[in-house]
Structure 1
Amino acid sequence: MVVADDHPMFRSGVTRCLQASGYISVVGQAGDGREALEMIRNLSPDVAVLDLKMPELDGAEVCHAVVRDALPTRVLFVSAYTESSVLYRMLQLGAVGCLPKEARRAEIVDAVRACGRGEGALAPALTARLAGEIRLRARTEGPALTDRETEVLRLIAEGRTVPQMARDLFLAEATIKTHIRRLYDKLEVSDRGAVVAKAMRHKLIE
């Protein structure tokens, strides 16, 4: 299997844990998504443990390439980003499992072994989040947004800058940027024009 994460300590810790289990052979470690994808293509591991946010290519892009190219590797995400909308998107892309980074090492070993057998692996706490996301999506035409995300979306549509939005909503600029990033993830876009256009198509704003 391949382990890819841009935090060396976490990556090496997971690798040691998996190898110490006696059941799993780690054939490669990668510090960014591009390197991870090259390893997956060259080594054809049964499972790849990926973080979602990585340099070069993020985990979603790596997963998409694996599925698109019909590579035999199954993708397990172990990430700090476990919001319900993110989980939904990861599984929609073709991942076979998701765990939070705070998962115990034994849980990661069990999840990797399950994925290697062709089974799914989703932490119990994440299952409830995913079920909630599915219910919300079933009730709405487009992705479900929080009240704060809707406020930020409306301000984007009005042409407000990040500093202006921060002043209007009494939030830190970093918080505004986080909401914008989540909007992009939920609506699967990469810029302001696209997020407004898609939101209007889904009637998330008028």
Structure 2
Amino acid sequence: MTAGAAAGADRLRFRSAAVSHGRGPTAVPRFGQVTVDVRASDPLSREGVVAQLRPRPEVRLLGSPGSEARVLVLVADTVDDDVHVQLRHTQRTSETRTVLIPTQITAQQLVSVAECGIGGIIRRADATPEHLVDVICSVALGQGHLPGDLLAQLFTEVGRVQREVLGPRGWHTTQISTRERDVLRLLAEGHDTAQIAKVLCFSVRTIKGTLQGVMDRFQLPNRTAAVAYAMRQGLI
């Protein structure tokens, strides 16, 4: 094959592997074809997705459910207990990332699947072959995908949980409580234990216990390390 013919073949291959949504083409991932396992709550839904993916050069469908796939495509009408079981099992037992295709999903369900390590979500109505392959390749590369309106719902729901559930109990989504944050902030400003206890109106014993709790939870050797960790993580 001449150099010109080879270049033409390469261009043809790139076009056949491209996915376009007005954002330009998406090339085949650097590791080659993405191995994909498709599962669904009913055979008809599974066969529909398989039929969409089979002709695509970007993916390679695995025939055995037990095979190690880079991406699991999970099709479901709603996010029920069976979906959570499959998501948690995949998260615990493999490095496979999951693309969920639900018919409908609520804000609370969105938070619950996020906790299960979901890689991407596509509504079933939006799951065209091009869009599905685009998301599969992105998720395989370690990226995530969430429709804009669902992302807004996720932010709103996380804020609601913090405001109505965690906040009144002194907890926080950053894994430190309001009291812990206040103690670490004052410690970072140079106050000693007695001064912190006076400012926050707690006993010295309570302040020491609070600091020890942070050090134990994050496996930090001393108070200086606790302050440094909190600052690195943006907690104070």
Aligned partner of 1:50 among 65, 69, 74: 74
Q: Tell me the C-alpha RMSD between the 2 structures.
A: 2.3
Partner of 2:135: 111
Q: Which residue of 2 aligns with 1:131?
A: 155
- Equivalent residue number for residue 23 of structure 1: 58
In structure 2, the CA distance between the partners of 1:48 and 1:131, relative to structure 1 (3 Å rule), is same
Shift of 1:88: 0.8
Secondary structure at the counterpart of residue 100 of structure 2 = strand
- Equivalences for 1:23-172 in 2 at 5 Å? 23-28=58-63, 39=65, 42-52=66-76, 58-69=82-93, 71-105=94-128, 106-141=130-165
Q: Residues 17 and 109 of structure 1 are in contact (CA less than 8 Å); yes or no, is this contact kept in structure 2?
A: no
Alpha-carbon distance in 1 for matches of 2:117, 2:159: 20
Report the Cα offset of residue 52 of structure 1. Answer: 4.4
Whether the 8 Å contact between 1:52 and 1:60 is mirrored in structure 2 is no
- 1:65-93 deviations in Å (ceiling 9; x for gaps): 12222x02111111123111101100111
Matched letter for residue 127 of structure 1: L
* CA offset digits 1:31-79 (Å, max 9, x no partner): xxxxxxxx2xx3110000113469xx7121011112222x021111111
Distance 2:111 2:75 in 1: 16
Distance 1:51 1:15, change over 3 A: same
Q: What is the TM-score when the length of structure 1 is the normalising length?
A: 0.56
Question: Percent identity between the aligned chains?
Answer: 21
- Any idea what SS the aligned residue of 1:51 has? strand
Q: Which runs of 5+ in 1 are unaligned?
A: 30-38, 143-206
Q: Quote the offset at 1:19 in angstroms.
A: 2.3
Counterpart of 1:182 in structure 2 is none
CA distance in 2, matches of 1:108, 1:131: 24
Unaligned runs of 5+ in 2: 1-35, 167-236
3-state SS in 2 of match to 1:129: helix
Q: Structure 2-normalised TM-score?
A: 0.50
SS state at 2:152 partner: helix
Any conservation in 2 of the 1:48–1:73 contact (CA below 8 Å)? Answer: yes
SS in 2 for 1:25: strand
Preserved contact between residue 76 and residue 97 of structure 1 (Cα < 8 Å): yes
CA apart distance, 1:17: 1.5
Distance of 2:110 and 2:124 partners within structure 1: 14
Tell me the distance in 2 between the aligned counterparts of 1:124 and 1:110: 16
Task: Identify if the C-alpha distance between structure 1 residues 28 and 125 changes in structure 2 by more than 3 Å, giving closer, same or farther.
Answer: farther
Do 2:102 and 2:123's aligned partners in 1 also have CA atoms closer than 8 Å? yes
The equivalent residue for 2:201 is none
Shift of 1:111: 1.1
Greater Rg by CA: 2
Aligned to 1:5: 40
